[in-house]
């Protein structure tokens, strides 16, 4: 367990850290309920930490408000079971610092940043940037080397200086340069607690054998257990098993290439991951941030074909996909899953109201005691959505009445609209 907002212990990062998608609702805002479901999926799959607001998480495209909601929802869903790392990449060093301070207050345990983007910075300027951040950030910093996005690669010599000066505690190397990764791990091996992670889904097994400590991987959003198994196989020396699992991961990764309607590679990757996660019952929507193009029907069908062919949905653990699998079909499992979903999906002032309103269910507080036999999970979800909507309407109406009475008391108690 790790306390909310406390720094990750030195040298503790290792293994698989999924670079998580950001679930959005139909209006393009953060879908907190799907965030909770996604985090539960990751926790049950055995990952070692969580990374939000990276490239896969659409971090550069989200507003400051939405970024904060992502961190808050992730911290709440994790409940101290896993460290939460949050991306603070920005063109402005001062903005990165402000994000870092806000995310620590929201409960994050570590921060991640690329080089500042837009300008083509020199290595000397990159050193200056990280020295600027170090004296101002409240949490340990990991750097994210992704030259395709920021126009400059951190050299092995620069990473070594950053590690030796204690300016960073680790690196996510998404350069795709395995030889450079090996050179970097050799150059930093003498630095106590420094951690090197690959960001390449194609060669986790090779990166671990080249001195890496794990992977921070976008595909781990949908295949966390698969990558955990690769990591475990290498740790016990079963390289043949690791290679076979890596082959399967590469087959799953082909979904990012289904796009043919003009979308970018980023849109293809993020869009396909969300389509897969919805099919697996982990999130509700496939909405991507503007201006990314969503997958069309043909492309989505191609993603679903890959999900079926690779049988990746079979890796969803029991309780790991609250929207479908975690609810089950009928009986006690559905009741337990629905009660849990009410708890994670709704603010406190709506929970009891929803428990009373769920059509076809008998509720005692938050404990749903009976579910009609054979009730399908989609109907359960529809009931939850409708009950939540009606509860919101009730609260709004009661607030209007309270204001007319002039008593200034909100019907829902201390209602925190900003968190919705």
Q: Which of 263, 273, 265, 258 is nearest to 294 (CA)?
A: 263
What is the rounded (10 degree) CA torsion for 157, 163, 167, 168?
A: 110
Active-site residue, from 67, 129, 144, 274: 144
Instruction: Name the token pair of 119.
Output: 């300008």
User: How far apart are the C-alpha atoms of 32 and 26, rounded to whole Å?
Assistant: 12
Q: Residue written as tokens 């050193």?
A: 127
Cβ proximity of 362 and 309 under 8 Å: no
Beta-bridge partner residues of 370:
362
**Is 153 among the residues known to form the active site?**
no
Q: In what order do the strands lie in the sheet with 50-52?
A: 15-18, 214-217, 195-198, 170-173, 141-145, 110-113, 84-87, 50-52
Pairing of strands 362-364, 367-370: antiparallel
If you ran DSSP here, which 8-state letter would residue 172 be given? Answer: E
**Token pair 């001195």 in the structure block, residue:** 211
Neighbours of 191 (CB within 10 A): 18
Active site residue 231: no
Catalytic residue among 67, 129, 153, 172: 172
- Measured in whole angstroms, the distance separating CA 78 from the mean position of its chain's CA atoms is 11
Catalytic annotation, residues: 144, 172
């Amino acid at each position: 367990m790790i306390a909310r907002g406390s720094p990750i212990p030195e040298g503790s990062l290792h293994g698989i850290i999924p670079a998580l998608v950001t679930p959005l609702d139909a209006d393009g805002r953060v879908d907190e309920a799907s965030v909770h479901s996604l985090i539960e999926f990751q926790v049950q799959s055995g990952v070692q930490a969580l990374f939000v607001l990276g490239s896969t998480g659409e971090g550069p495209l989200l507003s400051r408000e939405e970024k904060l909601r992502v961190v808050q929802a992730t911290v709440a869903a994790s409940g101290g079971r896993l460290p939460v790392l949050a991306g603070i990449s920005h063109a402005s060093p001062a903005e990165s610092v402000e994000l870092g301070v806000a995310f620590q207050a929201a409960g994050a345990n570590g921060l991640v940043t690329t080089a500042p983007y837009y300008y083509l910075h020199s290595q000397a300027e990159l050193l200056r940037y990280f020295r600027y951040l170090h004296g101002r950030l409240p949490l340990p910093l990991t750097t994210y080397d992704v030259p395709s996005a920021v126009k400059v690669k951190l050299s092995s010599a620069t990473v070594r200086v950053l590690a030796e000066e204690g300016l960073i505690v680790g690196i996510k190397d998404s350069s795709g340069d395995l030889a450079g990764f090996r050179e970097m791990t050799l150059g930093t091996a003498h630095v106590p607690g420094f951690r090197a992670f690959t960001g390449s889904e194609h060669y986790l097994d090779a990166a671990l054998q080249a001195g890496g400590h794990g992977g921070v991987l976008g595909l781990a959003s949908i295949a966390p257990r698969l990558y955990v198994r690769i990591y475990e196989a290498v740790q016990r020396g079963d390289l043949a098993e690791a290679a076979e699992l890596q082959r399967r991961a590469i087959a799953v990764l082909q979904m990012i290439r289904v796009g043919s309607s003009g979308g970018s590679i980023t849109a293809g990757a993020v869009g396909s991951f969300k389509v897969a996660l919805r099919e697996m019952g982990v999130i509700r929507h496939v909405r991507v941030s503007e201006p990314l193009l969503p997958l069309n029907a043909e492309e989505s069908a191609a993603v679903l074909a890959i999900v079926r062919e690779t049988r990746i949905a079979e890796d969803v653990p029991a309780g790991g996909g609250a929207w479908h699998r975690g609810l089950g079909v009928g009986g006690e499992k559905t009741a337990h899953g629905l009660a849990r979903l009410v708890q994670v999906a709704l603010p406190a002032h709506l929970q009891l109201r929803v428990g009373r309103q769920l059509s076809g269910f008998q509720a005692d507080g938050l404990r749903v005691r009976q579910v009609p036999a054979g009730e399908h999970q989609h109907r359960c979800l529809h009931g939850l959505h409708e009950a939540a909507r009606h509860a919101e309407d009730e609260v709004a109406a009661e607030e209007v009445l309270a204001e007319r009475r002039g008593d200034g008391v909100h019907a829902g108690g201390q209602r925190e609209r900003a968190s919705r």
